[in-house]
A = this chain, B = another copy of it.
Amino acid sequence: MLIKSIFGGKSEMTEASSKKCPVVLMTRIRLARNLSDTPFPGWAKAPQRKGVLETCLPAVASLTQMKRGITAEVEELSDLEKQILVERHLISRELSGSPEKAGVVISKDQSVSVMINEEDHLRIQVIKSGYRFKQAWNSVNGIDSSLEDELDYAFSSQIGFLTACPTNVGTGMRASAMMHLPALVISSQMEKVVRAVNQLGIAVRGLFGEGSDASGSIFQISNQTTLGESEQEIIKRLSSVLRTIIDQEMNAREKILEKDPNKLFDKIGRAYGILQNSHLLTSSECMNLASLVRFGVDLEMFPEKTRNIVDRMFIECQPGHIQHHAGKAIDSNERDAFRSQYLRNQFESIDKPVFTIQED
C-alpha cells in the first residue's frame, strides 16, 4: 500500500530535468536535529528510542507540508519497500537497516522526508529538482522552525545544534547537488576535480552517497563542514564551487566535440543502439547508457522529451524498482532481462540521434 502511493507520486529526481542547467539533476538540503536531554539514537536504550519515535513521529506527521503524506515505522516496511525508498533517496541505507523504533515521514510530493532515529533523532531533508538551493533552503528552514515550536532541540548557544557525529555539529546542515558530469568523466578529469574541491572542504560522492560508485557519471557534491559558518555562507561557498565544476564540465564538452566528435557520436550512438536492442542489462550498465543518452539530449542529438525518460531510468532501473515492476520475486538474471525489456519499450519510439558538427 505504501509502495503504491510512492509510485503514484512524482519524484524530484525524475522531474529533475531542466534544459537551462542540465548539469545539476537535483538539489538537496538536510538538517540533523536532536531532542535535548535524550541520548542520541546510537546510545539510547530501547525505551528511549521508543520515546523519541512516539514524540517525533506525530509532530512531523502533523506538519502542513506532510498533509496526505506517508508516515511509517521502519519495522512496518517490507525489504522491497525500504529498498525503493533508498533508491528514491527518501531514506538512507542506514535507516533501512535500522534495528527498531525508527520511522520516516514523507510528503505527498516526495520533496520532503524526515527520518526519525537514524544517526540523529531527526534528519530533515528537502529535495528540489534542478539547481535550486534557495527554494530548498526556504523549505527546510520552514519545516525546521515549525518543528522547533513543537520539540525541544539539543542546542548549545556556543556551538549550535548538537549532533551524534561531531562532523555535523553547528548548523547540522548538509547541502548537496546531484551533478551529471559525463564530459569530465570521459576526458578523465574527475580525479583532478575531486582533489581540488576536497581542498576547499567540499566532498564528492557517488549517486548513493558515501562508498557508492559514480555509475552514470552522477556525483553528489556537498559541504564537508557544518561549523563556523552560517547556513547561507555554507550554501554560498558550495554554490561557487558548483559553478566552477559546471564551467569545467561545459568546457570539457566543447573540447570533446572539437577534438574527436566521432568518438562521442560513437559512444552515444552505441548507447542508444544497446538500449533499443539489448536483452540483458545490469542496473550499472543501464546507468551508464542513460548517462550517455542524457548527454546526447543536452547536445540536442535527441528530442527534449527523451530527457525525462533517461532521468526516470536513473531511478526506475534500480533493482528494487525493477523488482516492483515485475510484480513478483525475480532473481538478478530475470531482473536484467526485465530491465532491458522495459527499456526497449521506452526507447522504441525514440528516433535515432542526429549528429551534426556545428560550425562557428
Q: Does A272 contact B (CB under 8 A)?
A: yes
Set of chain B residues within 8 Å of A262, measured between Cβ atoms: 279-280, 333, 337
Q: Mark A98-116, 1 if CB is under 8 A from B, else 0.
A: 0000000000000000000
Docked complex Cα distance between A340 and B263 (Å)? 12
Are B277 and A273 touching (Cβ within 8 A)? yes
A278 contacts partner chain B, Cβ-Cβ < 8 Å: yes
Which of chain B's residues have a CB closer than 8 A to the CB of A333?
Answer: 262
A265 within 8 A of B: yes
Binding site secondary structure of chain A: helix
Contact flags A323-360 to B (C-beta < 8 A → 1, else 0): 00000000001000100100000000000110100000
Q: How far is the CA of A277 from the CA of B266 in the complex (A)?
A: 7
How far, in angstroms, from A355 to B344 measured CA to CA in the complex?
13
Query: For the complex, what is the distance from the CA of A190 to the CA of B273, rounded to whole Å?
Result: 30
A274, CB-defined interface residue at 8 Å: yes
Of all A-B residue pairs in the complex, the 8 with the closest CB atoms, nearest first, are A273-B273, A273-B277, A269-B277, A266-B279, A265-B279, A266-B280, A262-B279, A262-B337
Question: Counting CB contacts under 8 A, is A222 at the interface?
Answer: no
Q: Which chain B positions have C-beta within 8 A of A355?
A: 279
Verify B280–A263 contact, CB threshold 8 A. yes
Q: Nearest Cβ in chain B — how far from A352, in angstroms?
A: 7
Q: Judge whether A278 and B269 touch: CB under 8 Å.
A: yes
Residue A195 is within 8 A (CB to CB) of chain B in the complex: no
A270 contacts the other chain (CB 8 A): yes
Give per-residue flags for A228-271: 1 if the beta carbon is below 8 A from chain B beta carbons, else 0: 00000000000000000000000000000000001101100110
Interface flag for A34 (CB, 8 Å): no
Per the bound structure, the CA–CA distance linking A270 and B281 in Å amounts to: 11
Most buried by B among A277, A333, A340, A355: A277
Q: Does A276 contact B (CB under 8 A)?
A: yes
A266 to B275, CA, bound (A): 11
Nearest B residue (CB) for A263: B280
Tell me the chain A residues, 273-303 only, with Cβ under 8 Å from chain B. Answer: 273-280
Q: Give A80 to B265 CA distance when docked, in angstroms.
A: 29
- A273 to chain B: which residues have CB within 8 Å? 270, 272-278
A356 to nearest B CB, angstroms?
A: 13
CA gap between A274 and B274 in the complex, in Å: 7
One of B266, B275, B279 near A340 (C-beta < 8 A): B266
CA A333 to CA B260, docked complex, whole Å: 10
Residues of B within 8 A of A274 (CB): 270, 273-274
Contact indicator B278/A270 (Cβ below 8 Å): yes
CB of A275, distance to nearest CB on chain B (Å): 8
A152–B185 CA distance with the chains assembled, in angstroms: 69
Give the chain B neighbours of A269 by CB distance below 8 A. Answer: 277-279
- In the complex, A270→B274 CA distance in Å? 5
8 A-B pairs in the complex with CB atoms less than 8 angstroms apart: A262-B280, A266-B340, A269-B277, A269-B278, A270-B278, A272-B273, A273-B274, A274-B274
Q: How far is the CA of A263 from the CA of B280 in the complex (A)?
A: 7
Contact indicator A277/B352 (Cβ below 8 Å): yes
